[in-house]
Amino acid sequence: MAGPVPGAPASDDLNLSDWAAAERRRARAAASGLGVAEPAQEGTGHAEHAGAPPVAVGRPLDLSTGASPAGTVGAWQAKASQRRRRRVRFTRVWAFVKMSISAASTWWTMSYLHAGLGAMISAYGAVCFWWAFGPHWRKRCFGPGQQLEPELYETVARVLWWAGTVLILVGGALFVIK
């Protein structure tokens, strides 16, 4: 069973302009050294493009080495890794800001209630527990970075668990003493 022959679409509709745009992109890729030849003619009608599809020129592109003849793949990979590092840095700042807002709102609430030192320390322990349990309940408790670096946020949650335990015990002891 043979499929349709590649070439221009049969009717003058939106598919024709999409096809022509794809041909122009393919021609630009050939000019940048990716190994695909330009189509024979550029135009808007489908009659000009009814010829054979573009053919590969030169030797085929070897993707196993990770480098292209023009060096565009290596440059693209470098830019992608820079974007990933920037995104990871941004998500860490995002998590820090979320936790800082939580700490500030705890301080404001406890000072508004005129809480003593023991109650205030216990409240910070409760906030630490909130941030320690959060990653297990919600996949984005710390923000979008939790999807990118789950091990880091599991470690942060473990540290907050221990800090919350210590703060609640110390705050409870201070509350009982007063």
Would you say residue 1 lies in a domain? no
* Residues 2-58 pLDDT 10s: 555 555 555 555 566 677 777 787 788 777 665 544 444 444 444 444 555 555 555
Q: Kindly state whether residues 161 and 103 are assigned to the same domain.
A: yes
* DSSP string computed for the chain: ---PPSSS-SSSSHHHHHHHHHHHHHHHHHHTTSSBPPPS---SSSSTT-SPPP-B-SSPP--SSS--TTSHHHHHHHHHHHHHHHHHHHHHHHHHHHHHHHHHHHHHHHHHTT--HHHHHHHHHHHHHHHHHHHHH-TTSS-THHHH-HHHHHHHHHHHHHHHHHHHHHHHHHHHH-
pLDDT at 64: 61
Residue 52 and residue 58: Cα distance in Å, rounded? Answer: 18
Higher pLDDT, 108 or 61: 108
Kindly give, in sequence order, each residue whose CB lies less than 8 Å from that of residue 161, ignoring residues fewer than 6 positions away.
Answer: 128, 129, 132
Q: Kindly state whether residues 97 and 161 are assigned to the same domain.
A: yes
Beta bridge partners of 56: 36
- Per-residue pLDDT, averaged over 111-133, amounts to 92
Q: Kindly state whether residues 97 and 16 are assigned to the same domain.
A: no
* Residues 68-109 pLDDT 10s: 555 555 666 667 778 778 888 898 899 999 999 999 999 999
pLDDT at 70: 53
pLDDT at 2: 55
Q: Kindly state whether residues 51 and 90 are assigned to the same domain.
A: no
In this structure, what token pair is assigned to residue 102? 């939580």
Q: Kindly state whether residues 88 and 33 are assigned to the same domain.
A: no
> What confidence tier does 160 reach under pLDDT thresholds 50, 70, 90?
very high
Would you say residue 75 lies in a domain? no
φ, ψ of residue 56 in degrees (nearest 5)? -75, 140
pLDDT at 165: 96
What domain range is 107 assigned to?
82-177
pLDDT at 85: 81
Would you say residue 154 lies in a domain? yes
pLDDT at 46: 47
- Per-residue pLDDT, averaged over 117-122, amounts to 94
Q: Kindly state whether residues 172 and 134 are assigned to the same domain.
A: yes
Higher pLDDT, 141 or 56: 141
Domain count along the chain: 2
Distances (CA, A) of 161 to 39, 84, 117: 63, 29, 21
Would you say residue 77 lies in a domain? no
Q: Kindly state whether residues 49 and 118 are assigned to the same domain.
A: no
Kindly give, in sequence order, each residue whose CB lies less than 8 Å from that of residue 33, ignoring residues fewer than 6 positions away.
Answer: 68, 69, 70, 72
